[in-house]
């Protein structure tokens, strides 16, 4: 078994004296853990940071094995984000969420494309937090847990949607949800259409929304907490006034 594909590095750890076990999100072959000979070398280490874009050539006796891979840097590396600690925190959080949420060896081209879009947005701190929230919503959808934000779960109306049920993931209108506001999750208007602006408080509400469903529907059933890297990103956003 062998393939070549584009990939993002999600995580890497040293293995033996010179190698590394690397967790990859590939474009067409899903999430893959593989052994990279020479991965612990000075030459390779900079390219094994979370979010690094690489070209992978993978080989194994059969598809169930860890296999080994040759990695080549591809496109811009994460050094373009070194001037923004908050953007690096966002990149680390995205990689950790994908690593924890996706099963291995299931093709997820939509998640790979969303990761590409997020990488492009990370160069602008005023933009990427909202893109990150859409990224997490897309990840939920790819895993079969998409939220229904089209109409009110109570009235069927498509107008003035302001809340989301924490139990069902369905939108609720402002009027229908008013008596239960303390039990509902806020729905930022920018998630309802591309024309809506992101205003103060939207990023915090959006991350609370996606975080709730990632925890309840993806991580908790696997007996996992949300990745600490995501909590650290939120703290960084708060310190930077971007939350």
Q: What is the mean pLDDT of residues 145-166?
A: 95
Ranges 62-66, 122-126, 131-135, most confident: 131-135
pTM exceeding 0.85: yes
Whether residue 180 is predicted with pLDDT greater than 90 in this model: the reply is yes
Sort 8 into a burial class: Cβ within 10 Å, 0-12 / 13-18 / 19+. Answer: buried
Whether residue 82 is predicted with pLDDT greater than 80 in this model: the reply is no
Query: What pLDDT score was predicted for residue 18?
Result: 87
Query: What pLDDT score was predicted for residue 35?
Result: 95
Mean pLDDT over the full length of the chain = 93
Question: For residues 161 and 41, which has the higher predicted lDDT (pLDDT)?
Answer: 161
Whether residue 147 is predicted with pLDDT greater than 80 in this model: the reply is yes
Q: Are strands 185-186 and 19-26 parallel, antiparallel or unpaired?
A: unpaired
Maximum CA pair distance of the chain?
63
Helix-strand-coil split of the chain, %, nearest 5: 40, 20, 35
Whether residue 80 is predicted with pLDDT greater than 80 in this model: the reply is no
Whether residue 164 is predicted with pLDDT greater than 80 in this model: the reply is yes
Segment 12-47, tens digit of pLDDT:
998 888 899 999 999 999 999 999 998 888 888 888
54 in Cβ contact with 73 (< 8 Å): yes
Q: For the CA atoms of 155, 160, 164, 169, what is the dihedral angle to 10 degrees?
A: 60
Please report, in angstroms and rounded to a whole number, the separation of the first and last CA atoms in the chain: 46
């Amino acid at each position: 078994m062998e393939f070549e594909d584009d990939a993002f590095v999600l995580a890497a750890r040293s293995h033996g004296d010179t190698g590394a076990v690397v967790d990859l999100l590939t474009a067409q072959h899903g999430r893959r853990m593989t052994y990279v000979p020479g991965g612990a070398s000075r030459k390779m280490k900079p390219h094994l940071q979370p979010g690094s874009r690489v070209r992978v050539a993978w080989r194994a006796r059969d598809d169930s094995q860890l296999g080994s891979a040759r990695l080549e840097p591809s496109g811009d590396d994460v050094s373009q984000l070194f001037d923004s600690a908050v953007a690096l925190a966002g990149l680390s959080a995205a990689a950790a969420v994908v690593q924890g949420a996706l099963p291995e060896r299931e093709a997820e081209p939509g998640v790979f494309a969303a990761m590409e879009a997020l990488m492009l947005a990370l160069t602008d701190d005023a933009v990427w937090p909202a893109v990150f929230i859409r990224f997490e919503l897309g990840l939920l959808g790819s895993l079969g847990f998409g939220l229904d934000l089209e109409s009110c779960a109570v009235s069927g109306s498509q107008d003035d949607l302001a809340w989301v049920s924490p139990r069902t993931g369905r939108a609720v209108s402002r009027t229908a949800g008013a008596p239960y506001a303390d039990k509902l999750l806020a729905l930022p208007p920018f998630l309802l259409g591309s024309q809506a602006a992101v205003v103060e408080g939207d990023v915090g509400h959006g991350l609370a929304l996606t975080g709730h469903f990632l925890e309840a529907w993806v991580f908790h059933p696997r007996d996992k907490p949300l990745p600490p890297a995501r909590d650290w990103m939120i703290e960084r956003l708060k310190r930077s006034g971007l939350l």
